[in-house]
Amino acid sequence: MPQRIDSTPRADGYRMPAEWEEHAGCWMLWPQRRDTWRNGGKPAQCAFVDVAEKIARFEPVTMGVNRDQYENARAMLPPQIRVVELSNNDAWIRDIGATFVVSDQGSARGVNWKFNAWGGLQKMMYFPWDQDDLLPIKMLEVEGLDRYDAPLVMEGGSIHVDGQGTLITTEQCLLHTNRNPDLSRGDIEDYLADYLNIEQIIWLPRGVYEDETDGHVDNICCIVRPGVVALTWTDDRSDPQYERSAEAYDKLMSARDARGASLEVHKIHQPDPMTMTREEAEGLDVVDTAFLRPQGERLAGSYINFYIANGAIILPQFGDRRDEDACRKLAELFPARQVVGVYAREILLGGGNIHCITQQQPAGHASSSA
Amino acid sequence: MPQRIDSTPRADGYRMPAEWEEHAGCWMLWPQRRDTWRNGGKPAQCAFVDVAEKIARFEPVTMGVNRDQYENARAMLPPQIRVVELSNNDAWIRDIGATFVVSDQGSARGVNWKFNAWGGLQKMMYFPWDQDDLLPIKMLEVEGLDRYDAPLVMEGGSIHVDGQGTLITTEQCLLHTNRNPDLSRGDIEDYLADYLNIEQIIWLPRGVYEDETDGHVDNICCIVRPGVVALTWTDDRSDPQYERSAEAYDKLMSARDARGASLEVHKIHQPDPMTMTREEAEGLDVVDTAFLRPQGERLAGSYINFYIANGAIILPQFGDRRDEDACRKLAELFPARQVVGVYAREILLGGGNIHCITQQQPAGHASSSA
């Protein structure tokens, strides 16, 4: 039965595995906010069902849902998806949920980060976020896994790891004053080292242009395997994304991972710039306590925001001329996995994509702690 | 992953095991209604913590809790209790929750009964009961167990089984017009046979005097092992309980179980009559949509309302002169189990006791259904 543990994963011999390591399953949350998801959330719910159903072909999926949407979610989802009550303020479980760590002996535990809804009152993405902040505890209780409480405001989408001591993040997000104003870069590095078992941190300067998370790494760059990364790219030098991808590219080309090796960087060309249409914007409720999503806003579209499932890549598609090329490149980078595309504009309209709405739980049993 | 199954447990070779068969664990719900539980539910919460902690010495305990009480329940309960979000209208999981059935091959499934809060609008114990009615589905989703939906309004506290084809219930409850007015006694017997795999039903006339459940069997009589039952009793012929226990005794003495054997009946003398005090009654909120619990009301106290855990009997105690005798008799009836008493007046004030607030989950793995 679950316990709160006062030490750190590093001290206890636990590490965050890479996303490509074997999963016990995948967690998602059901979208319903009328100010994030247009038309009462119905189009997004259909898109989430599509993502869940496709992941469930490869690994078990658990959908967390607020009580007022329980019957609707259960009815819309296929029976192989487990639906559990998990109160939440919005559906971005990558950022809200627990991060799982594993030991060499095959036991799993969870890390409960502090959460302030991507910047707290300074940014005011939405208010309140009390249920989101409790979510990691509830996930771990359902699974009966022990828990570490990390004293760091952090979202899961702001990091990628190779499972061998390397972490990639962005300065734009993790050093932002709206996250941990009282912590230095060194303090933050120490916490990442302690709670994820990290030896080497690669700091990219910024994330994707107009990414409302303050530049989460999971929309700009991800790790394919140790020593190999993929980066969102544009050949259009007039696009504001160009200099962001170019500076990340330079940084990555000069970086060393935890093994001391240099990185192989693969560019994945972004879809053509997309903006929110008038019809889409008009489908959103306007509320004082949440971010406004106006017509004409540039959407932070990127193929990098995919999910690695057991044996598959679940890849966003936008109806864009670059969709096919992204599929082909990912298939080359992950030759042992099936690339499964999902039309994901409805998820992107909410401010993220497939990686943001999923959280892998690595294979691993409960530890028998004190 | 869980599925809804259209056949019946009997057709699929599943049966409801007796409570004394091995458990995977015990489910409970967190009390919080201010119109059922006095003083904002705080005394009842302490009593539930006591019950949960004592059961957890013998088997895993999961506590289901509404979202607004999650942090409080997690803080009040010891860490070995698993706390999961399970929205509910009140805390009587024996009556609200799933009934588990098992196959000879060791797989477990659940039965989802229809629930109308002990008599629907005709009785108006409280309104609404929508979250209670969803609870069995949610329990089974958490566990990943398949589910049968039974077309019968029934509460778990209105039945006891011996796991070998015998069921005991009361006419007062299960034939009441406020439960299944359109079903005959034969229809109800057929459903019990199909969903619990029952061959023989023993109908007792009535339950305990002033029992607000319309006479649930689990407060008057229980099965100790095949062929042996325990019955609440009073030697006081002027007590309205006397004729109820006496008629049940006569019925039991002439009954045959599924094997065709007669029953050995052990009388457990009830505690002295108890009533709700003025202070207790004044601690309750008065609301239009719930049962009034007035000062002076007779409480349906009974030692029969105990829980059988792996290796233990969790037995209500009332600070009564008969407490010790009940402990001694139960120890004789269950020689292989430790009898653990819990002071249970706070639970009784809400209208039930330890058996009513617990629901065993038998040992058994998820079935790999179609």
Write out pLDDT tens, residues B85-125: 999 999 999 999 999 999 999 999 999 999 999 999 998 89
The amino acid present at B160, given as its one-letter code, is H
Given a contact cutoff of 8 angstroms between Cβ atoms, the answer to whether B357 and B157 are in contact is: no
Helix (H) or strand (E) holding B315: strand B312-317
Which residues make beta-bridge pairs with B221? B231
DSSP structure string for B143-159 = HT--EEEEEEE--GGG-
pLDDT at A368: 65
Report the helix count and the strand count for chain B, using DSSP H and E.
12, 21
Cβ pair B85:A83 closer than 8 A: no
Segment 93-152 of chain B within 8 Å of chain A by CB: 131, 134, 137-138, 141-142, 144
Q: Which residues of B touch A56 (CB under 8 A)?
A: 1
- A60 — contact with chain B (CB < 8 Å)? yes
List phi, psi (to 5°) of A126: -160, 165
Given a contact cutoff of 8 angstroms between Cβ atoms, the answer to whether A314 and A54 are in contact is: yes
| DSSP class of A290 | B
Q: Is A35 helix (H, G, I), strand (E, B) or coil?
A: coil
- B3 — contact with chain A (CB < 8 Å)? yes
The amino acid present at A267, given as its one-letter code, is K
**Could you report the per-residue pLDDT of B2-55, keeping only the tens digit for each?**
689 999 999 999 999 999 999 999 999 999 999 999 999 999 999 999 999 999
Q: Which residue of chain A is at minimal alpha-carbon distance from B82?
A: A141
Distance CA B94, CA A363 (A): 34
Mean pLDDT of B299-304: 98
List phi, psi (to 5°) of B208: -75, 145
Which two three-digit tokens encode residue A165?
């001591």
Q: Which residues of B touch A4 (CB under 8 A)?
A: 79
Distance CA A197, CA B226 (A): 56
- B72 — contact with chain A (CB < 8 Å)? no
Which strand ranges, in their side-by-side order, compose the sheet holding A200-204?
A160-161, A166-170, A200-204
- A138 → closest Cβ in B3, B85, B144: B85
- Chain A interface disruption, residue of B58, B131, B141, B361, most A CBs within 10 A: B141
Its CATH architecture, for the domain B4-365, is 5-stranded Propeller (3.75)
Contacts of A343 (CB under 8 A, 6+ apart): A47, A50, A317, A318, A319
Given a contact cutoff of 8 angstroms between Cβ atoms, the answer to whether A154 and A174 are in contact is: yes
Cβ pair A1:B74 closer than 8 A: no
C-alpha distances out from residue A115 to A87, A131, A220, Å: 15, 10, 22
Cβ pair B1:A83 closer than 8 A: no
Q: Which residues of B touch A85 (CB under 8 A)?
A: 84-87, 138
Burial class (CB in 10 A: 0-12, 13-18, 19+), B2: buried
Pick the CATH number of A4-364 from 3.40.50.1370, 3.75.10.10, 3.90.1010.10, 3.10.20.30: 3.75.10.10
pLDDT at B370: 38
Cβ pair A70:B134 closer than 8 A: yes
- B4 — contact with chain A (CB < 8 Å)? yes
The amino acid present at A328, given as its one-letter code, is R
Report the helix count and the strand count for chain A, using DSSP H and E.
12, 21
Q: What is the 3-state secondary structure (H, E, C) of B56-98?
A: HCCCCEEEEECHHHHHHHHHHCCCCCEEEECCCCCCCHHHHCC
Q: Tell me, rounded to whole angstroms, the distance of Cα A156 from its chain centroid.
A: 5
The amino acid present at B277, given as its one-letter code, is T
Give pLDDT tens digits along chain A (370 positions): 568 999 999 999 999 999 999 999 999 999 999 999 999 999 999 999 999 999 999 999 999 999 999 999 999 999 999 999 999 999 999 999 999 999 999 999 999 999 999 999 998 899 999 999 999 999 999 999 999 999 999 999 999 999 999 999 999 999 999 999 999 999 999 999 999 999 999 999 999 999 999 999 999 999 999 999 999 999 999 999 999 999 999 999 999 999 999 999 999 999 999 999 999 999 999 998 888 888 999 999 999 999 999 999 999 999 999 999 999 999 999 999 999 999 999 999 999 999 999 999 999 999 864 3
Given a contact cutoff of 8 angstroms between Cβ atoms, the answer to whether A213 and A173 are in contact is: yes
CA distance B48 to chain A (A): 18
Q: Closest Cα to residue B126, out of B301, B274, B285, B277?
A: B285
pLDDT at A370: 38
List phi, psi (to 5°) of B269: -65, 135
In the numeric block, the tokens 């120890």 are attached to B331
Half-sphere exposure of B70 (CA within 13 A, CB side): 23
Cβ neighbours of B326 (radius 10 Å) = 26
Cβ pair B137:A74 closer than 8 A: yes
Given a contact cutoff of 8 angstroms between Cβ atoms, the answer to whether B265 and B229 are in contact is: yes
Cβ pair B87:A71 closer than 8 A: no
Which two three-digit tokens encode residue B279?
């202070």
Distance CA A29, CA B83 (A): 19
Which residues make beta-bridge pairs with A105? none
Catalytic residue at A356? Answer: yes
Given a contact cutoff of 8 angstroms between Cβ atoms, the answer to whether A209 and A300 are in contact is: yes
Radius of gyration, alpha carbons of chain B: 19
- A80 → closest Cβ in B1, B71, B80: B1
At B289, is the pLDDT very low, low, confident or very high (cuts 50, 70, 90)? confident
Cβ pair A1:B144 closer than 8 A: no
- A3 → closest Cβ in B79, B84, B86: B79
- Complex-level ipTM: 0.92
- B82 → closest Cβ in A1, A70, A85: A1
- Chain B interface disruption, residue of A58, A67, A361, most B CBs within 10 A: A67
Give the E-state strand segments of B56-145 in sequence order.
Answer: 61-65, 82-85, 99-103, 107-114
- A86 → closest Cβ in B4, B79, B85: B85
Q: Is B325 helix (H, G, I), strand (E, B) or coil?
A: helix
**Could you report the per-residue pLDDT of A159-179, keeping only the tens digit for each?**
999 999 999 999 999 999 999
Cβ neighbours of B23 (radius 10 Å) = 22
